[in-house]
Copies of this chain bind each other. A is one copy, B any other.
Amino acid sequence: MDRNPRVGVIGATGYAGMELVRLLLHHPKMDLTYLAGSRERDEDFSELFVHLAHAPGTPVEAFDADQCADRCDLAFVALPSGESGRIAGQLFERGIRVVDLSGDLRLPPDIYQRWYDKVPVAAALQSAAVYGLTEFNGAKVATSKLVANPGCYATAALLATKPLESAAFVDVSSPLVIDAKSGVTGAGRSVKPHLHFAELEDDFYAYRVGSHQHTPEIEQALGHRFSVVLTTQLLPMSRGIFVSVYARLNSVPTFDDIYQRYLNTYRDAPFVHVLKPGQLPHLKAVLGSNYAHIGLSLNESSRLLQVFCAIDNLQKGAAGQALQNANRMFGFSDTEGLAATSMWM
């Protein structure tokens, strides 16, 4: 291409969509040419995004598939599950590249229906989508025109556990326990009583225990080798996912064996950082960035391996990884437009 690819965001006023808009405004090799939301046509950019008031923003339009396909080479679809996959399908049919951030394209129809309790998209559409866990499926993503971007909890859980998928020392007869904590933006921007500031400040609680829809996504991406118990819990902060994984072992390798396995897995992954032995991740150290930090702890006497992984749910867990996949689809470096690091304080 002798010009920058043109990209659009459908669902631009949700949290993942807002993050995409912000990232794309700074992307050196993509041009943001189309924004659509769920609201009425032509809302003023600077009123919707007061933190981006200086940017040369385009208005947020009511979605129109032909308009979008005409004005974009790639569209990010960041709508609620149940709606997003259908829109993604319309754009895919019109021949443009699509990255869908919802759960609609990640699971076969029968499993989707059981966990999401919504009408699935056509099986053919779903099977046309590549699961966009970039570090593991990046090559497939590069040649695909339809990507199912992973879920936020699933991304953190999978980065923590994929190196164990083929490890003989893990006891597959014991469940893989994933104690996960997420910031509030994971629940979306829709207006609900329990998301009121005064209801959430200083609270912490578990929700959807035993029924969170990222459970089958994790099991599938681990080749159904493990039974996964995922516990999702709400942190009183805006961003971030922190998972504490407990894997029971058959035999106990040395810590260094495990550590090298992780280092090898992520040798070429610019965004996945395996911390030195003795270090454990701080959630804060990845907020605002596309990085994942992983730390390991081995409890020999209990034959238990603990893996901790921290990501920003809106970056590596959503918009950042979506952009990383789009970079792959256009042949750019993974890190293009994603260089930001955490501010720490």
Contact = CB atoms under 8 A, between A and B. Distances in A.
Nearest to A236: B237
Interface in A145-203: 174-175, 177, 179, 181, 183-185, 189, 191-193, 195-203
A235 to B, nearest CB: 6
Contacts of A287: 202
Given A18-B344, A273-B54, A237 B201 contact: yes
B51 A284 contact: yes
A233 interface: yes
Contacts of A235: 204, 235-236
A6 to B, nearest CB: 21
A160 to B, nearest CB: 13
A240 B195 contact: no
Interface stretch (A29-37, A111-119, A298-306): A298-306
A280 interface: yes
A340 B340 contact: yes
A92 interface: no
A304 to B, nearest CB: 6
Nearest to A226: B302
Interface string A331-345: 000000001111111
Interface residues of A, number: 88
A343 B22 contact: yes
A84 interface: no
Interface string A33-73: 00000000000000001111111000000000000000000
Contact of A304 (B175, B279, B297, B339): B175
A244 B206 contact: yes
A281 interface: yes
A187 to B, nearest CB: 9
Contact of A196 (B19, B174, B196): B196
Contacts of A1: none
Interface in A222-242: 227, 229, 231, 233, 235-240, 242
Given A184-B198, A195-B198, 19 more contacts: A22-B341, A51-B341, A53-B273, A54-B291, A177-B246, A183-B198, A189-B193, A189-B196, A197-B236, A199-B345, A201-B345, A202-B239, A204-B284, A204-B310, A205-B283, A206-B280, A233-B242, A238-B345, A314-B345
Enumerate the 8 nearest inter-chain pairs by beta-carbon distance, A residue then B residue, closest first. Answer: A203-B284, A51-B342, A175-B302, A51-B285, A198-B345, A204-B283, A179-B179, A198-B238
Interface of A: 15, 18-19, 22, 25-26, 49-55, 174-175, 177, 179, 181, 183-185, 189, 191-193, 195-207, 209-210, 227, 229, 231, 233, 235-240, 242, 244, 246, 248, 270, 273, 275, 279-289, 291, 293, 295, 297, 299, 301-304, 306, 308, 310, 314, 339-345
